[in-house]
Structure 1
Amino acid sequence: MRLFTSLVLLCFSQIGLAQGSIKNLIIVVGDGMGYEQVKATGIYFNGREGTLNFESFPHKGDMKTASASSPVTDSAAAATAMATGVKTINGYVGRDAQARDIPNITEIAKIAGKSTGLLTSVAVSHATPAGFGAHEDFREKKNGIVDSLLSDSRPNLLWGAVTEINPEWCQYKGYSVVRNLSEMESLPNDLGKKRIAGLFTDTELAWEFEPQGTAPRLHEMTRKALQLLSSDPDGFFLMVEGGKIDWASHSADLYKTIFEVKGLAQSVDEILTWMQGRTDTLLIVTADHETGGLKVGASRGTRQVPDHQWTMPKASDGTLSHSGVNVPVYAIGPGAEAFGRTIDNTEIFHLSIKAMGLESTYKILTQNL
């Protein structure tokens, strides 16, 4: 895969971009965020549903999430589907059901000369950033995932919790490392060809309802990432993940879930502010799957957790399992109208590379698979 990517880089100048293609693509993923998680957040903060910023996007769709091995996907297979356009087995990242490496959207954007970034509120080796940037046959092979992120897709920005990744390893692979909000904010906005690993805190990042300490919140990462990536005249691809929506829903903790969804909405607000006056950027907000089978009932008033129940059975570790229900898709910008229907999760990839004018690049990369 690495050699093949290098060969494509050499010949890419002969391909060119499709006329009228977008310059920038941003995909925001609420891990475990179904319709009911969104509904509960609107009720809690605004007194009624339908009030989060992305719910007002002009194009809204519905997405199927089944993996190649199960009607109920895990995050690894779901992220892989969205990032590569290929269904795979639960647990695989960046590989198809036959365990072959499949080019992901981060690699394809890099081949097109764009800057790239993967941001998350959990560890950068977790399933969603892994699916968007790595190739491994099991999501728990953290060393292999990290090595693939740093060696294969090599995003310019790889930001999240420091857990499961060695800062010295990142430096060896050519990345500079920032460890807190102050260091991140002091980065010059001219990214150039630099690669920056944001490895924040000594453990996990705090929950959104807790004090964060010296680490940045996800929306602060997003704001700075946009400043850096937008310095590339060729454009960029950015994936932003709210990873702890899933954790809170696994634990049947709606209070934490609501605050994590709100944190994701704050990141979307940063993106919308940056997008004002632009006509070259497509923004997609979606989820990899729903967690917990949440059902939200009547409101108890603003700043009160609404009536609700969690309907999925507990897994062997005592947490609630994923459900197989469809999840929402919200899109704004050029090409957004294509997402305003029921789609499969693989179409996130195919519609995105079409919007970026990179279909011919993808065909070259996959012609021998």
Structure 2
Amino acid sequence: MKQLVTYLLAGLCCTTAFANTPKNIIMIVGDGMGPAYTTAYRMFADNASTPAVESTVFDRMLVGMASTHPDFSDGYVTDSAAGATALSSGVKTYNGAIGVDLDKKSVQTVLELAKKQGRKTGIAVTSQINHATPAGFSAHNESRHNYNEIADSYFDNRIEGKFVLDVMLGGGWKYFKREDRNLVNEFQQAGYQYIDDMANLSKVKVGKPLLGLFGDKGVPWALDFKHKNRLPILAKTAVKHLENDKGFFLLIEASQIDWAGHANDVAAAMAEMHDLALTLQWLENYVLKNPDTLVVLTADHSTGGLTIGARGVYDWVPDATKALKMSPEKIAQQLLPSKQRWTLASELLGFEVSQDELQSIITADTHKTMHRAICKIIDNRSNTGWTTSGHTGVDVPVFAIGAGSENFIGHSDNTDIAKKMFALLKAR
């Protein structure tokens, strides 16, 4: 049955017919994932033994593009906090704002509306759970850097007497187990199950709220995680614990694509993209079995100005990113104290380091310079370019499948994504 939903879009009153409105909404943010990342991943995942470049799950789900700028008082380039607030509330704000408008007043998020409607709510992220994006959906604060305050608000703030989040999965020991306050104990006393080893997630009982923290800040890089693919584990667990007759709203964030972009680390970036791709493949199957579910994926912004090809060479060679036995950051940690840097570097990188490449490794005297040297070697071998260590203002791709996904086709602003989700939530 079609339902008419009226919403305000770009200053115009529009009436749209929503058919098959979703019971469950899964919003995914690939933090920092601009269009160059999904293109690079297609080449990274390509089967070189075939003449064609195979499509990926991103290609199958692509429906449009979105602009990302914050309120124009802060220019054309957003940070993750303002980006998350736009995606969660439909409100443009200043960089650094968590769920508040330009006047620092709280704005309702789609996750909060879902909770008011009686749906279960959750977050599953690879950053700390009180980082900019999950906080932008679940909290309100004038600054993203008030990490302790944001963590406290997850316990202290309630919606009609209920905790905002039923499931919280990600990192954050530093902020939830502090000298001044142990939020883990408080959540346990309030009836939450707590787990700090991802290997034991399958043993957690369904039916009780869940807090899982798996790192001091973020969880380990995908390249360093012992199970390799941790976002699919977090997503599957969250969905299993959120499923109920009234439906749920889940925010998933592939947080560390952005961290790799800031570090200009293409190897880590492709591993994080693969982690997200596996999550999407599982969600494709989930939607087939649960057609009343909507999955929407986009990015808050692009990070690093990733370019496929550099220095005027018309080629990109992702092979150099595939043989690593750990993240470039961890390789740097192991190389720095080593007296056999050449041998160890070749072993950990998966290829023999040249004399020219060895020079930058030998002269590196801090973790930062060593990490940069490793990333530069991989950049040169893969012919990868970067324009910045920060964010860029390019439009980002939008992906959607499931009930209501047709409403996200075409070009939109990031605030439109939130407005359409509000409409879908209210239509059911």
Q: TM-score when scaled to structure 2?
A: 0.72
Show the counterpart of 1:31.
Answer: 31
Q: Is the 8 A contact 2:28 2:253 kept in 1?
A: yes
TM superposition shift of 1:226 = 1.3
Listed as ranges, the matches of 1:180-219 within 5 Å are 180-189=197-206, 191=207, 194-202=208-216, 204-212=218-226, 217-219=230-232
C-alpha distance 254-99 of structure 1, shift in aligned 2 (>3 A): same
C-alpha distance 44-182 of structure 1, shift in aligned 2 (>3 A): closer
Larger Rg: 2
Listed as ranges, the matches of 1:235-250 within 5 Å are 235-250=247-262
Listed as ranges, the matches of 1:16-165 within 5 Å are 20-47=20-47, 51-57=55-61, 60-68=63-71, 69-152=74-157, 154-165=164-175
Q: Is the 8 A contact 1:40 1:49 kept in 2?
A: no
Q: Distance in 1 between matches of 2:102 and 2:147?
A: 20
* Fraction of identical pairs, as percent: 32
TM superposition shift of 1:294 = 1.3
TM superposition shift of 1:356 = 2.3
Cα offsets for 1:51-70 (capped at 9, x unmatched): 2213202x511110000122
Show the counterpart of 1:10.
Answer: none
Q: Is the 8 A contact 1:226 1:274 kept in 2?
A: no
**1:253 pairs with 265, 290, 295, which one?**
265
Show the counterpart of 1:4.
Answer: none
Stretches of structure 2 lacking an aligned partner (at least 5 in a row) = 1-17, 158-162, 322-381
Q: What secondary structure does 1:110 align onto?
A: helix
Q: Is the 8 A contact 1:23 1:234 kept in 2?
A: yes
**Paired AA for residue 77 in structure 1:** A
TM superposition shift of 1:147 = 1.7
Q: Is the 8 A contact 1:42 1:52 kept in 2?
A: yes
Q: Is the 8 A contact 1:159 1:197 kept in 2?
A: yes
Pairwise CA RMSD of aligned residues?
2.2
Show the counterpart of 2:412.
Answer: 343
Cα offsets for 1:66-117 (capped at 9, x unmatched): 0012210000000011011111110010001111001111111111110111
Matched, 1:229 2:229: no
Q: Is the 8 A contact 1:115 1:156 kept in 2?
A: yes
Listed as ranges, the matches of 1:169-184 within 5 Å are 169-173=183-187, 174=190, 175-184=192-201
Show the counterpart of 1:317.
Answer: none
TM superposition shift of 1:251 = 0.8
Q: Distance in 1 between matches of 2:423 and 2:19?
A: 11
Q: Is the 8 A contact 1:106 1:237 kept in 2?
A: yes
Q: Distance in 2 between matches of 1:125 and 1:330?
A: 25
**Paired AA for residue 240 in structure 2:** Q
C-alpha distance 20-37 of structure 1, shift in aligned 2 (>3 A): closer
Cα offsets for 1:321-366 (capped at 9, x unmatched): 100000000111121112111111111111112122259xxxxxxx
Q: What secondary structure does 2:112 align onto?
A: helix
Show the counterpart of 1:12.
Answer: none
Q: Distance in 2 between matches of 1:249 and 1:184?
A: 29
Cα offsets for 1:189-229 (capped at 9, x unmatched): 3x3xx32111114554211112337x981110111111111
Matched, 1:166 2:182: no
C-alpha distance 178-326 of structure 1, shift in aligned 2 (>3 A): same
C-alpha distance 61-202 of structure 1, shift in aligned 2 (>3 A): same
Q: Is the 8 A contact 2:69 2:77 kept in 1?
A: yes
TM superposition shift of 1:288 = 0.6
Matched, 1:294 2:306: yes
TM superposition shift of 1:302 = 6.1
Q: What secondary structure does 2:41 align onto?
A: helix
Cα offsets for 1:252-274 (capped at 9, x unmatched): 11111111111111111222222
TM superposition shift of 1:20 = 4.7
Cα offsets for 1:24-73 (capped at 9, x unmatched): 0001111000110111111112157672213202x511110000122100
**Paired AA for residue 31 in structure 1:** D
Show the counterpart of 1:3.
Answer: none
Q: Is the 8 A contact 1:64 1:326 kept in 2?
A: yes
TM superposition shift of 1:301 = 5.3
Q: Distance in 1 between matches of 2:218 and 2:296?
A: 26
Q: Distance in 1 between matches of 2:39 and 2:20?
A: 36
Q: What secondary structure does 2:40 align onto?
A: helix
**Paired AA for residue 181 in structure 1:** M
Stretches of structure 1 lacking an aligned partner (at least 5 in a row) = 1-17, 313-319, 360-369
